[in-house]
Amino acid sequence: MPSGSRRGEWAFLALLLLGFGLRLYQLTFHSLWLDETVSIYLASFPLSEIFQQGMSLQEPNPPLYHLVLSLWMRVLGSSEASVRILSAFLGTIYLPALYLLGRRLFSARLALIATLLAVSNPFLVWYSQEARMYALVATLSVWSMYCFVRALATPRWYWWVAYVLVTVASLYTHLYAAFLLPAQLLFLFLFPSRHREALRRGALAGGLSLLCFSPWLSRAWELSGATPSWRAPLSLFGMITTCLEAFTVRRLPLSGTGLGLILAVSGAFVLAGLFLPYLPQRARGRIRWKRLDLRPNVFLSLSLLVPFVLAYVLSFRQQIFTVYYLIVILGPFLLALGAGLEKVTSFSRAAGLGSLLVVMAIFVSGLWFNWSPDYRKEEWRAAARYVSGHAKPGDAILCHVDYTRIPFVYYYSGTVPVFAPFGGPLAGEAEVAQILEGLGEYSTVWLVQSHTEWADPTRAVESWLSTHFPLVTQQYPPGVEVKAYAAQYRLSEVPSEARPVDALFDDKVRLAGYELDGETFYSTDDTYHPPSGWIHVTLYWQPLVPLTEEYIAAVGLIDEAHQVWGGALERPTGAIGFYPPTSWRVGEVVRDDYDINLNPVTPEGTYGLEVSLLSSSGERVQASYPEGQGDSVPLGDVSVRSR
């Protein structure tokens, strides 16, 4: 279709609206993960301090995004939706830049194809819904390419000014934007413009951009040799396949042949778009070849390959490759992919349409999994919600490692004190013990931990807690672990909030009371420990005489027919395993916690909870209670629902 076609303009507007809608869809489906909350935390500082932290590399990324986010938050606040709308807006501005670049380099039809691909690209949509700098650097990078191409086509100087401004902004957003500069300067020398001043102005603009970025770049180079990398080394082939997968489907539950086929098809179209001429078209009974203009293909090839090669080469000094950093080359990738599809269309419209549908199916399949429960980000929202609902006055919360306190506190709404004493790698068990000794004064210690691979690979903090206190519960929202330990498990009396039971087992042990963490529960769970829902029960035992044998408690959920629909998980580190009954002192109250694992197919209805005490031989101990006697004691009824 012609460049000025009204249909083309309306088609682009429709794609722009669709792209913005997709970037707003399920915007808060995922919890903010660690890096997003760190962005919010940094953006909460005064502007001068944000700038100073970014320029001194106290924060390892340049400061522009956090400055922009800070101004944005002063107007719209720091809620999940507020901070992510900024990225959604920036990700939408990406689309007109790509469209204009594609139309300038190739044609209106290819520009629309590339825009359609960008609208539904799962990688772009994902980072347009994340409160990080990647949507901003991707958008600025494409606008920088567009200004560069426009500047080459005109003798006027203002496009070079625009190029410098946009390029410097991209550089101060993320380091990887700098990898595009060598590609553009190399193209400038390989294909000098017909305007005599273009080469000189282009070299001056590139040099000026690099000079403006040199204060941050020199500091980064100085620190790169002294700072160890947490990233695992990756081969060249691994980098290629990782980028291909990310740029097409981002993440799919596929491997082997299925994933390989997707990568092969996508890679073939990209290579065709970069290196093959347009296929022959029949005209007046003869086969004709379209004239090949190498300049757009070389520009895209350099824009794709030079940053990739630089990332690979520099990783020999320090491993710096992370696939989402290369979002700066996604624009050339999509244009090359669109060019490959258009070349198929030039041979056969039906084949071109079929190829486009295949690629769109690949993209949409990946896009669908952007909002899959199986691929959620770190669930700090769920972790904080659980602790907020279960922690009580007198408890303490221990975030490990220290920077995980930022995402936890962002969501946490309780009043229990939060500590985060451990940052870098631990020196040894003595350091842990010296700091954690004082936790015994609290009732329950909640350990919230994530990202411990580098700071605490031996799990020294968790090990210390496990050897000093019995385990209360353990929850596993994606990317986070929540464990609770009963620092006060030997009590002088039953807590006032407990429900009295007064059941006597074998005239030796009294079940004095119990606590439940709710009245209504769900049979299934997709956050903490899928697929089963859990019921947390706290029992309070009191020995009446010195005990000479060990006991084991069994807690279950039963229906009216006495069928079992849930049972307590066996935990050797629970109170009875940690503090065995033969060690109990007469008259003291022992706190004993259990998580009942529900059958995920439990029908909706009302069920009863019962407790049994088993002897060391495995036999149930007879019990008496105010309502009767038997080998189990009923605690009460709970309601079970399905989601």
Identify the CATH assignment for 490-641 out of 3.40.228.10, 3.20.20.120, 2.60.40.770, 2.40.50.140: 2.60.40.770
H or E element that contains 356: helix 349-368
- How many residues in the chain? 643
pLDDT at 189: 85
CB 41 within 8 A of CB 66: no
Q: Is the peptide bond before 401 cis (omega within 30 degrees of 0)?
A: yes
Mean pLDDT by 10 residues, the chain (643 residues): 70 96 97 97 96 89 96 96 98 97 92 96 97 98 96 88 97 96 91 75 92 89 64 80 94 86 94 77 48 78 95 80 93 96 85 93 94 93 96 96 96 94 84 90 97 90 95 96 97 94 94 94 94 96 94 94 91 92 96 96 95 91 92 94 88
Quickly count: other Cβ atoms within 10 Å of residue 608's Cβ.
16
Taking Cα atoms as reference points, which of 126, 62, 67 lies closest to residue 94?
A: 126
Place of tokens 């968790």: 462
Written as one letter, the residue type at 210 is L
Cβ 125 vs Cβ 22: under 8 Å: yes
Identify the helix (H) or strand (E) that includes residue 130: none
User: Looking at residue 330, what is its pLDDT?
Assistant: 97
- DSSP notation for 428-481: -HHHHHHHHGGGGGSSEEEEEE--HHHH-TT-HHHHHHHHHS-EEEEE--TT-E
Quote the Cα angle for 67-73-77, to 5°.
165
Q: Residue 283 has what pLDDT?
A: 46
For 369, residues 6+ apart whose C-beta sits below 8 A from its C-beta are: 122, 249, 250, 251, 252, 253, 375
List the domain boundaries for the chain. Answer: 6-281+295-375, 385-486, 490-641
In the prediction, which pLDDT does 569 show? Answer: 84
Give the span between the Cα atoms of 210 and 215, in whole angstroms: 10
Residue 284 confidence (pLDDT): 46
Q: Tokens 């920077």 map to which residue?
A: 403
CB within 8 Å of 171: residues ≥ 6 apart: 62, 177, 178, 209, 212, 213, 216
Q: What's the confidence (pLDDT) of residue 193?
A: 67
Q: How many helices (H) and strands (E) does the chain have?
A: 22, 19
Cα(345)–Cα(361) distance, integer angstroms:
18
Q: Report the distance separating Cα 624 and Cα 634, nearest Å.
A: 11
| Partners of 471 in the β-ladder | 485
The reported pLDDT for the residue numbered 299 is 94
Give every CB contact of residue 621 below 8 A, 6+ residues apart in sequence. Answer: 505, 506, 509, 551, 612, 613, 614, 615, 631
Report the alpha-carbon angle 296-302-306, nearest 5.
165
